[in-house]
Structure 1
């Protein structure tokens, strides 16, 4: 019974990931407006906290330390959401951070975290969208860096047996409907 319950809970944890600046936050705000629970991006929360306290675990200072903090926060988010009875939408998750940490260190973080901490098998990725990309105080990397990160994700998720669904470049209401239809089986 525990395995079945864990499987059911995992199917309620939905990842929205993809290219930085591709409209994830706007999409998640729309899902929240529609009444769904949304978990904010762990990376942005780590950056915000590190900036407030004058910390060094920032992607432009110490990327590995930053990603380790992100992984720990993503694990906490996953654990807290594990008993959910409804869909919970995550702005990125442990796989994103683990893939990036593995990329820069060469150590197998993706298997270490990505196999045991599972989300719904459908992962929604925002594609690169140069027309809406913008840097901000918490996103200080270039569009080229965002493209490289996106390349890691389109490899990492399928390597862990996730199905990637590319979110269309359209208005936010249609993007939210696309996600909800795909989850309910109406978009297939």
Structure 2
């Protein structure tokens, strides 16, 4: 088991402002690790691959796990605060959401690579939600994703802190206050 208390996860359903919040934290000098899912989608579309959330879902899930673990492991030497746009448990939540069988490597990775016990989750927000070429979920699917993310992290022993709906600056202030860095 590897526990990195300086690794903070920012999660939630799609289209809730995670990336915008992370950009705000980055502008303030904090290191942020981008989401692997969008990277995989871009690569698969470019290569005409099928490991996509609307294609070969099991292959997409396994790629998400591999990339999430790689991202975690690459950053193990980091001593400072690091914010992750989603964590390994997001892949577990996605597996639940898509009603796939939980494979052993996923359970093992979720138990082996641990983040700070405080996880920041952004709630669904209809007013800012939109789809794009990589985000095709309906708003209801975004709500369902949030609920599964919440219950998955909670079942793994993480403490979830709901980030209030506010401006990106206010959200960044909130996160930093919660971890007492402001």
Q: TM-score, normalization: structure 1?
A: 0.90
Partner of 2:162: 166
- 2:36 is aligned with 1:45: no
Deviations 1:91-127 (A, max 9, x none): 1111001222244223255532211110010000000
Distance 2:6 2:181 in 1: 14
Aligned position for 1:79: 73
**For residues 28-39 of structure 1, what are the structure 2 equivalents within 5 Å?**
28-39=22-33
The higher-RCO structure (CA 8 Å, 6+ apart) is 2
Consecutive unaligned residues in structure 1, runs of 5 or more:
none
Structure with more helix by fraction: 1
Can you list the C-alpha shifts for 1:52-83, whole angstroms capped at 9, x where unaligned?
A: 11110010112221111011100000001111
Q: How many residues are paired up?
A: 180
Give SS of 1:105's match: coil
Match of 1:137 among 126, 133, 138: 133
| Structure 1 range deviating more: 150-159 or 107-116 | 107-116
Deviating above 6 A after TM superposition, structure 1's stretches of 4 or more consecutive aligned residues are none
CA RMSD of aligned residues (A): 1.6
More displaced 10-residue stretch of structure 1: 110-119 or 15-24: 110-119
**Alpha-carbon distance, 1:178 to partner:** 0.6
Specify every segment of 5 or more residues in structure 2 that has no aligned partner in the other structure, as ranges.
Answer: none
TM-score normalised to structure 2 length:
0.93
Whether the 8 Å contact between 2:36 and 2:64 is mirrored in structure 1 is: yes
Distance 1:159 1:17 in 2: 15
The 1-side partners of 2:179 and 2:120 are apart by 10
Residue from 102, 117, 123 that aligns with 1:121 = 117
Aligned 8 A contact 1:25 1:91 in 2: yes
* SS of structure 2 residue aligned to 1:184: coil
* Structure 1 position 139, deviation (Å): 0.5
